[in-house]
Structure 1
Amino acid sequence: MDNLTALKEQLKYCRKLAVLGIGNTIRGDDGLGIFIVKSIVRHYTDKYPQQNLNINKEVNKIFDKVILINCGTVPENFTNVLKEEKPGKIVFIDAAVMGEKPGTVKLIDVRDIYRVGFSTHTLPLNVIVKYLTRYIDSEILIVGMEPEKLDFGIERLSEKIYKKCLEFTEILIELIDSILEKY
């Protein structure tokens, strides 16, 4: 089973989902998690105007079923939101140096986080995951995308990663639509 199929299976019966985009937008492809979350918010802004979604807000909620969080480089700042919301599933999306072809998307086992390069976080992602599993009963999924360029001072995604992000965003929108339709 490929990673995207596995992700779809993991989220199929989700009642409440949190999607967190992590990264630094001035380090090229490191900002891909933020780009994806903002793209999802942008998509639902017109579809659900009553939800007052805004790509410039850090936390956006859709019908108390989907929480979209732009974490920047400090996902630990949003642990209280997650503890309060108690989503059934939490998906972290981040650039991950995995030694793969740029644009490769992988579902990373939370036990293997330490083997993957997530470089711009204030706290290591494994510390945040341990903290969350101690305080809330949510399944945590880590989605990594291999970056192409992580140069400091570049405020846009590389062309290849931009296209892969658009493709992945469409997959996430389909999954979110299925969550919103069911309930």
Structure 2
Amino acid sequence: MGAELNGDDAVGLRVADRLASLVGQQENLLVLNGGSLPESTSGALRRFHSTLVLFVDAADLGKTAGAIEVLETQRVGGASFSTHGMPLIMLMDYLAEELGCESVLIGVQPEWVDFDSPLSDRAKKAATRLVKELYHLLAAPNLDEEELLAKKEDLGV
């Protein structure tokens, strides 16, 4: 999720797009780009019968730009997030109540979120790290390190 034209706020979009191109369609994994209205994905999540939803977004974690932190639902309210259609905590609560699925936010500390600015180098590196880790953990859990390195070009490294 994120706003494409707001610099590092687009880090979640980059992760989603790259991961989606790597994994394609899988029976047990759905990658969606929620853009600036992540709530618009709730129908697809319902049809997919999701049990876990991972959000990736720029978040003011009070850390160095490019830092990555996993935040569970109870911690989401304590971080300052980019502006989206509805507060993320409301969407996470809705998904828990309506779909019975757990939601986790992976926050990336932005360097800048100025309108019409590009992704910073630190956000790009964080996105690449996340794509590699998520691919390894979710899409190819049995892939060994050598096989993962063979996919280096696909991972954008």
Instruction: Give TM class, smaller chain.
Output: 0.7 to 0.9
Corresponding residue of 1:10: none
Aligned alpha-carbon RMSD (Å): 1.6
Is residue 86–residue 137 contact of structure 1 (8 Å, CA) maintained in 2?
Answer: no
Corresponding residue of 2:146: none
Secondary structure of 1:96 counterpart: strand
Kindly indicate whether residue 60 of structure 2 is the aligned counterpart of residue 97 of structure 1: yes
Kindly indicate whether residue 27 of structure 2 is the aligned counterpart of residue 27 of structure 1: no
1:109-149 deviation line (CA, Å, top 9, x unaligned): 21121211112211000110111111112121111010111
1:33-52 deviation line (CA, Å, top 9, x unaligned): 000011112223xxxxxxxx
Kindly indicate whether residue 97 of structure 2 is the aligned counterpart of residue 134 of structure 1: yes
Gapped runs of 5+ residues in structure 1? 1-21, 45-52, 54-61
Q: What percent of counterpart residues are identical?
A: 24
Supply the distance in 2 between the matched residues of 1:179 and 1:67 (Cα, whole angstroms).
15
- What TM-score do the two structures reach when normalised by structure 1? 0.73
Residue 65 of structure 1, CA deviation = 1.1
Supply the distance in 1 between the matched residues of 2:21 and 2:106 (Cα, whole angstroms).
21
Q: How many residues align?
A: 143
Is residue 65–residue 109 contact of structure 2 (8 Å, CA) maintained in 1?
Answer: yes
Corresponding residue of 2:140: 178
Kindly indicate whether residue 77 of structure 2 is the aligned counterpart of residue 77 of structure 1: no
Gapped runs of 5+ residues in structure 2? 144-157
Higher percent of residues as strand:
1
Residue in structure 1 matching 2:22, options 37, 43, 47 = 43
- What TM-score do the two structures reach when normalised by structure 2? 0.85
